[in-house]
Structure 1
Amino acid sequence: MDHEEEFLNSFFTQVTQLCFEKAKESVEKERESCRLAQMGPWGMLLMHLPQIALAERSYVDLGFLRTKNKGFLRKDNSLKTMYESLKGDLRRVEEMTRGTNAVGATVAEVSSELSEFVTARIQLMDFYEKMYNMSATSRSMNHLDLLQDIKVIVDAHSLSCSHLALTAIKAALTLECEILLQLIKAHVEIQNWKFLPSLMALYGAQARMAAWERTLQNKESWKLGFGATFLKANQQPVLYQWLLKLRSAVLSKCSLYFHTTLSQQASPGEMRSIMSRQNVDYYHKLQSFQRKCDVLAVVIVFDSRGTQDSGPGYKHPKREPTGGEDFLHVVSCPSMFLQKPLAHWDNIREGIEDHSADLIAMDKIIYLKGHNQKESYIYAMYNIDTRMTLVTVFESGKQKDKGPHVTTFMTELCVQMRCNKVYESLKLLK
């Protein structure tokens, strides 16, 4: 490997390890040692490397999502503008150095591939901005739309940054894109109640996050009195922290939707341990509310109409040939609530079927009356996702006392499980 390639490889490794000051210092030293080449191809590229380090530092801290300080006659100094300017500069370096000499050929190739890297960064910034905006304007985020968008970015840049000197930033870019892809795919599969695809996507995200974490080795130091040097804690960048937050939210949701399946593979004690380790133990939330508020049951039902398969849940026997198997029991507290007699199940199924349009709108809780063994009950229904309905069952005579508590619980739980707040937090993380 030539000197220039070795230097670039070291520089971009430092950038991906969050050693931004060290990377900029190495550029200054290189420029000092190559004064005669300042106006040549190598000097032209070196001039733009500090800007790359500065942009990357802001990017991994989600600087592009912060409030912009723009005013009358004030220059737009946003990160996106910085990347756009950098992309133009790299294109000009490529044009000016191509065909000059061996060093010029390397500089031209690296500049071309760096401009593709910058393009990917701009597209990812737009993607994060879209996630934030979608969470703020939609009751349920369109994860299929997001999945398609990130697939386009992954496919567009799968062959970019192939130069050996760019191995480090290529790996970081690939890991970030694939983590996003796997997490969004997991959320889509969970919403459609597909156990194995959900598990595989979550595992894929975890494996890639572990690989990315191994590269985050911030060794930059600071001094405090008497010349003593202390290492900073290996603090993860804001972007990585947010991806961890998203993964935790998706995993918690997965643990609830597939609680019945997981329970068949672990003892009650092991299940309690597994659920307690989640960021949010939704099953415990259901149990606590059902007992504390003294409601008859809390149930989640999956509407499988129009899907290719019915998920991992067990099917309740059909009482009539009216499509009863289209509605599947996901989880309930208490767990035996939907066993015989089946009148409650029939009331729930018919209620979801008759009010599916209102439930899909996710703008209000639907209250329905039903009867079971000559007693009257209230079925409060609210969709978590398009196909997942949260149902609370209680005696109709207690609606005045329990109604407000049921409304608060169902609203707060559904909003939390939709994960919109996680996407909204993109602009709140520091």
Structure 2
Amino acid sequence: MFGDCNEISGNSQDTMTDHEESFLKDFFTHVANLGFDKAKELVEHERESRLGQSGPWGMLLTHLPQIAVAERSYGELGFLITKNKGFLRKDNSLKSVYDSARSDFRRVEEATRHSNSDRLPPAFSNELRTINSVANELCLFLTARIELIDLYEKMHLMGMGKQMKYEELLAQVEDIMDRNAPSVPQMCVTPIGNMLSLECELLIHLLKSQLEMQMWKFLPSLMLLHLAHTRLAAWESKLQNRESWKLGFGATFLKTSQLPALLQWLLKLKTAFLAKFSLYFHTTLAQQTSAQEMKVLCSKLQTYDYFHKIQNFQRRYDATAVMLVFDAHGLEDFKGPGYHHPDRPAETPQDLECYPIVVSCPIKPLNHMPNVVQIITERASELAAMDKVVYYFSPRDQRTYVMACTDPRMMLVVVFDSKKDEKESHIRNFVFDLALQLRCNKVFSDLKPNT
């Protein structure tokens, strides 16, 4: 591609030096820490100091500012903001910006790969290899960004549907992370590589925690939420002015924080999952502290204090019980609630034992469980639709059962010792809304910024 040494070098002193490697590390550190203006100023200063020089280093400098511009918009969820794109109008979406930058760095990669290095001084040949590796790693990074944009768009659309497909989302994140990992990472590009890894690992831990919660597994869910917390803390610690940016769960924090919109949303997602965890494992958690302390801890979840909502509804409408029931029917590895030593045999639950009460307010209505299990079995297809509230009135017992799925194997059940009409909207709305909230759809549908 470059037949003459002077054409590609532009200057005999244009070799990769400690200064240039330090420059790249500083640039990507600024980008990773949200210092986008500083990153662009750094490039401008470098280009001015090398005025008149061309070659691969000059090519690299020309395209670096695009990364700073794109990353600023990415952090603010700019890819979810609707663009006014009309006939013959240039596509200015963030995906197109990343794609254009990727094409530019691929040209840098091609230029350095196909040059005749045998005719070049050893030092300059080393520079070409380094720039080639940097360009290659940037192409992988930009590809990952494009694919993550697709992922977040899918999350947003999925959140407006009936059910989140966490397995599908998890597989997509893991694939993005695996395919776009550089074989030999360049130290100078490490800052943005680390940020990308933190983001992907955080998503993986959160999505996995949901899958474990759906199967009512306490310890794996807890560990994954903790891992997500550590990734969030690590991400925050890498940002500028971290002394004035305090991570928290309150609504006020999310309104006033200077953290980028993406990180704010990930904090909201973790809070929603933590609140769900606090309900699914309320019985276990309550055994570790006093009732008053448990109430205080749950109240910190604010709008996500599900147990408090259940208590209020049960008292206000005199429900016999409001509970969650887990359907373990057909699960070969289910041994009942709690921890089971892997080397100690346990009897497989049978009949009603396959439908344990996860949490109940005010008490566990064990005498109602035969009816509850019968309804879950007979109305399985309706419950599986995820968008229906199932009513059942037992004339013999004069009892009403109202149900909805919160997860494929988790049922929200409200029991009344009297006949309730399906037209009583306060009951239907409570069951439908709480089930929807526990599926966490809304936090995904809210991913798109208000514009």
The answer to whether the superposition gives a TM-score over 0.5 is yes
User: How far apart in 2 are the matches of 1:293 and 1:313?
Assistant: 32
Deviation at 1:36, TM superposition (A): 3.4
Is the CA contact 1:117–1:160 (under 8 Å) kept in the aligned structure 2? no
Is 1:337 aligned with 2:364?
A: yes
Structure 2 counterpart of 1:114, from 138, 141, 149: 138
Is 1:414 aligned with 2:435?
A: yes
Structure 2 counterpart of 1:309, from 317, 334, 340: 334
Equivalence for 2:19: 3
Equivalence for 1:423: 444
User: How far apart in 2 are the matches of 1:271 and 1:9?
Assistant: 47
Is 1:362 aligned with 2:362?
A: no
1:378-415 per-position Cα deviation (integer Å, ceiling 9, x unaligned): 00111111111111111334x24983211011111111
**Counterpart code for 1:326:** C
What is the correspondence of 1:24-423 to structure 2 with a 5 Å cutoff?
Answer: 24-37=40-53, 39-98=54-113, 99=117, 101=124, 102-136=126-160, 138-159=161-182, 162-217=185-240, 235-279=258-302, 280-307=304-331, 308-310=333-335, 312=337, 323-334=351-362, 336-339=363-366, 342=367, 344-370=368-394, 375-397=397-419, 399-400=420-421, 403-423=424-444
Deviation at 1:123, TM superposition (A): 1.0
Deviation at 1:274, TM superposition (A): 1.7
Is the CA contact 1:313–1:328 (under 8 Å) kept in the aligned structure 2? no
* 1:10–1:208 Cα change, 3 Å: same
Equivalence for 2:11: none
User: How far apart in 1 are the matches of 2:167 and 2:136?
Assistant: 32
Give the gaps of 5 or more residues in structure 1: 220-232, 315-320
Equivalence for 2:252: none
Deviation at 1:135, TM superposition (A): 1.7
TM-score by length of 1: 0.89
User: How far apart in 1 are the matches of 2:414 and 2:398?
Assistant: 14
| Local SS of the residue matching 1:32 | helix
Is the CA contact 2:299–2:305 (under 8 Å) kept in the aligned structure 1? yes
- My pick for the range that moved more, 291-300 or 191-200, is 291-300
Is the CA contact 2:403–2:412 (under 8 Å) kept in the aligned structure 1? yes
* 1:241–1:234 Cα change, 3 Å: closer
Give the gaps of 5 or more residues in structure 2: 1-16, 243-255, 340-348
**Counterpart code for 1:389:** M
* 1:218–1:15 Cα change, 3 Å: farther
**Counterpart code for 1:169:** I
- My pick for the range that moved more, 407-416 or 101-110, is 101-110
**Counterpart code for 1:13:** T
**Counterpart code for 1:49:** L
| Local SS of the residue matching 1:305 | coil
* 1:160–1:130 Cα change, 3 Å: farther
Is the CA contact 1:300–1:391 (under 8 Å) kept in the aligned structure 2? yes
* 1:429–1:9 Cα change, 3 Å: farther
Is the CA contact 2:265–2:447 (under 8 Å) kept in the aligned structure 1? yes
1:324-362 per-position Cα deviation (integer Å, ceiling 9, x unaligned): 22111001111x2324xx2x1111111111111111112
Equivalence for 1:225: none
Deviation at 1:209, TM superposition (A): 0.5
* 1:401–1:47 Cα change, 3 Å: closer
* 1:97–1:234 Cα change, 3 Å: farther
**Counterpart code for 2:41:** E
Q: CA RMSD in A?
A: 2.0
- My pick for the range that moved more, 247-256 or 97-106, is 97-106
- My pick for the range that moved more, 383-392 or 303-312, is 303-312
Equivalence for 1:224: none
* 1:376–1:161 Cα change, 3 Å: farther
Is the CA contact 2:166–2:210 (under 8 Å) kept in the aligned structure 1? yes
User: How far apart in 2 are the matches of 1:429 and 1:177?
Assistant: 24
Deviation at 1:163, TM superposition (A): 0.2
| Local SS of the residue matching 2:259 | coil
| Local SS of the residue matching 2:398 | strand
Is the CA contact 1:257–1:331 (under 8 Å) kept in the aligned structure 2? yes
1:58-100 per-position Cα deviation (integer Å, ceiling 9, x unaligned): 1111111110210111100111111111111101111112346
**Counterpart code for 2:19:** H
Equivalence for 1:16: 32
User: How far apart in 1 are the matches of 2:184 and 2:31?
Assistant: 15
User: How far apart in 2 are the matches of 1:252 and 1:121?
Assistant: 30
